[in-house]
Structure 1
Amino acid sequence: MNSAIYSGSCFCGAVQLTVSGEPVAMGYCHCESCRRWSAGPVNAFTLWDPDSVQITQGADNIGTYNKTENSYRKWCKTCGGHILTEHPGMGLIDVYAAVIPGFPYQPGIHVHYQETKLRIKDGLPKQKDVPKEMGGLGESLAE
């Protein structure tokens, strides 16, 4: 088990966080919600157990928006920088890979690939939605 601690922050640095240990999963999400939230064609995620994520500064400066009960998206009230998404149904927190620049991000999967706007041929598994163990169909798609 990796006991390393990695630091991250919002765009302006008002909100600081750490992640420790190993994430449950890393990959890319292609769903419309993540694309629109990130203002990009794909979102790089790192999923963590809640005990592995600590807000170390600026907790009172975090705004929350939840379009659905599945995702509580968090951002800095000062700069608007996106920080993380809590997924209560999965019991996990997605700390956006770009927020923790020193973390050795190694994606292992693409989720919601049926919604992609950017085909990525990287040899990683492409899931129609999410793996069965995360409540999805577990159906694979071609690159």
Structure 2
Amino acid sequence: MKNSFGPDYASLEDADFVAKYQASCFCGVIQYEVSADPVDAKICHCLTCQRLHGAPMQWVAIFHKHHVRFTAGLEHLLLYNSEQNRSERILPCKISCGKCGTPIADEGRRMWLAFPSLFDFGYPAKVPEAFRPTCHLFYGSKVIEIQDDLPKWSGHKNHSELL
């Protein structure tokens, strides 16, 4: 299967790509791997994430797109741009599995925002330190108070008020 998701991503033909972590949707039809640790990990409390994930917050690990390659299921990807309310790959967009509905990632203009709960960290899960959140984003929209020592930003990290 040739990676036809886009030129910014690694392909199966890339001999230099060495998978470090594997991820999949709930039903397993969509599978991808990454070749590096995330550049950051965050917990987002924005209203969009709350509504699209049906949860009070979303945990993301951020990767460069060239560290991501799909190994199965490209034909089952559903793409959605929440800003324009269109089911198209207009960046940034939300990506989910068309078979089981699992949210897969948020594709940014330059980055891949993966959901760490989809990665196989073994059982019981031993989440690598690189996947641990460094802060909370859009904490002004929080649904529940989180008692931890992480910085809490009113909007984006380093571009909004530190609460």
TM range (shorter): 0.7 to 0.9
* Deviation of the 1:126 alpha carbon: 0.4
Provide the rounded CA distance (Å) in 2 between the counterparts of 1:110 and 1:87: 18
Provide the rounded CA distance (Å) in 2 between the counterparts of 1:110 and 1:101: 24
Unaligned runs of 5+ in 2: 1-17, 84-89, 122-126
Match of 1:128 in 2: 154
Match of 2:117 in 1: 98
Q: How many residues align?
A: 133
* Deviation of the 1:60 alpha carbon: 1.1
Match of 2:105 in 1: 84
Provide the rounded CA distance (Å) in 1 between the counterparts of 2:48 and 2:33: 25
Instruction: Sort the Cα spacing of 1:93 and 1:111 in 2 relative to 1 into closer, same or farther, 3 A.
Output: same
* Deviation of the 1:4 alpha carbon: 6.2
CA RMSD of aligned residues (A): 1.6
Structure of higher CA gyration radius: 2
SS in 1 for 2:52: helix
* Deviation of the 1:101 alpha carbon: 3.6
Match of 2:135 in 1: 109
SS in 1 for 2:94: strand
Pairwise mapping of residues 1-143 of structure 1 onto structure 2 (< 5 A)?
5-68=20-83, 71-88=92-109, 91-102=110-121, 103-104=127-128, 105-132=131-158, 136-137=159-160, 139-141=161-163
Percentage of pairs with the same residue: 29
Deviation sequence 1:25-54 (CA, Å, 0-9, x none): 102000011111111111111011101111
Q: Which has the higher strand share?
A: 1
Provide the rounded CA distance (Å) in 1 between the counterparts of 2:132 and 2:19: 15
* Deviation of the 1:70 alpha carbon: 5.7
Range that drifts further, 101-110 or 33-42: 101-110
TM-score, reference length from structure 1: 0.86
Runs of 4+ in 1 over 4 A off after TM superposition: none
Instruction: Sort the Cα spacing of 1:111 and 1:87 in 2 relative to 1 into closer, same or farther, 3 A.
Output: same
